[in-house]
Amino acid sequence: MLRRAFIVLASTAMLSCNLDTSPTASTPIAAPSPPLAAPPLPTAVPGVLSVAMPIDSVDVANSAFGLIPFGYHGGGHTEDGHAGWDIEYRIGAPVRAAATGVVYSVEPDEIALGRTAVVLEHVVGEHFYRTHYTNLTTVVSDVVVDELILAGQPIGTAGTITASIGDQSITYAMTHFQLDDLEFHREVANQKAVSPEPFLSAAAKSLFDRIWPSAIYFQEPVEPFATNPRETVVTSRIWIRAGGDGPAGIRFTRRNTAYTYQLLAESGTVIETGDAVLRQNVRPATIDLISPTATRLGVYDIVSNEMRLAVGSPGAARAALSAASIYRTTR
């Protein structure tokens, strides 16, 4: 479930610094990167479930985060990785069945007190799956154990959460959507949970592609994918310039609730280090790169393996995203 701070203050620890101006090497802005291939299916056992997004297109919302990905190590998932997707809804919107199945359980939500969690079971040949829908404030009356539920049928209402974003208080609705493949197993909590991404139908993928680009969450600079590895806690990531005049590369390293950064030359040599302060309560998110001798103000936007990053010269006004360089990373 979502447990993240929306304003992150930099740590006071600093690494060494020896340059106050951005390295420049003018290059054309690269064409958009090809779409990432969906992660492979978790098993080779016959019987692949096709799932829809559990949300209608008219109910998509993004006042808080949009979508929190699979496998990120944030909030209550710092050790085992997030076992599903947290999806933001329009307040009052219904959560819908992602696939036709039978109601396996309707029980109190173990995390969101006073809410309900529904689990459906799905069978493809002899291959069993389950989908989970949590943080429901209401459950439709015909959603009872052993009842057949059709794909797209309303299950209940996405529950609301009130959180502080900067100096504002915001209320949004969300549900945790999880897919279990009962042929799969990993030695962590929620052992059967797999990413929904490779199971999406064509229509679901189209809706997902609309939602995902506006997702925003604290771990994004180091765990930027819709499907991140649950078994590996990734706390450092290098982004390499693919177009524009910014630094040749930047490495972000997450230390609990703070980031440090390193600017890289074409050779990979570190030319500047310091603390990175992210503020994700605005779109695009802002970033301050604070070295021991100067501060650069900028903005960034991340969608999977591509980041747009605009950082000004030391002491200059905050850069605009229209001036961003393109950076890419690998899965």
Answer whether residue 9 shows pLDDT above 90.
no
- What is the average pLDDT across 50-67? 96
8 A C-beta contact, residue 217 and residue 61: no
CATH superfamily assigned to domain 57-214: Glucose Permease (Domain IIA) (2.70.70.10)
Query: Is residue 127 scored above 70 in pLDDT?
Result: yes
What's the pLDDT tens digit per position in 150-185?
A: 999 999 999 999 987 666 788 999 999 999 999 999
pLDDT of residue 30: 54
3-state secondary structure of 98: coil
Is the pLDDT assigned to residue 6 strictly greater than 70?
no
- Please give the pLDDT value at position 5: 35
- Supply the pLDDT for residue 178: 98
- φ, ψ for residue 168 (rounded to 5)? -120, 155
Q: Can you give the pTM of this predicted structure?
A: 0.89
Q: What average pLDDT is seen over the chain?
A: 89
How far is it, in rounded angstroms, from Cα 298 to Cα 284?
10
Element (H, E) at 67: strand 67-68
Q: Who has greater pLDDT, 321 or 11?
A: 321
Q: How far is CA 237 from the centre of its chain?
A: 15
Tell me how far apart the alpha carbons of residues 250 and 270 are, in angstroms, rounded to a whole number: 9
Predicted pLDDT at 297: 97
Q: How many CA atoms lie within 13 A of 220 on its CB side?
A: 27
pLDDT tens-digit profile of 250-265?
Answer: 999 999 899 999 999 9
Domain ranges of the chain: 57-214
Residues 177-203: what's their mean pLDDT?
95
pLDDT digits (tens, 9 = 90+) for 71-118: 999 887 888 899 999 999 999 999 999 999 999 999 999 989 999 999
Torsion of CA 149, 152, 157, 159, to 10 degrees: 110
What are the angstrom distances between the C-alpha of 69 and each of 86, 277, 323?
7, 22, 28
Q: Is the pLDDT of residue 285 over 90?
A: yes
φ and ψ at 76, to 5 degrees? -85, 15
Contact 244, 27 (CB under 8 A): yes
Contact indicator for 198, 38 with CB cutoff of 8 Å: yes
Assess contact for 289 and 306: CB atoms under 8 A. no
Of the two residues 102 and 331, the one the predictor is more confident about is: 102
Q: Are 56 and 93 in contact (CB under 8 A)?
A: yes
Give the model's confidence band at 31: pLDDT under 50 very low, under 70 low, under 90 confident, else very high: low
Nearest to 98 by CA among 147, 131, 72: 131
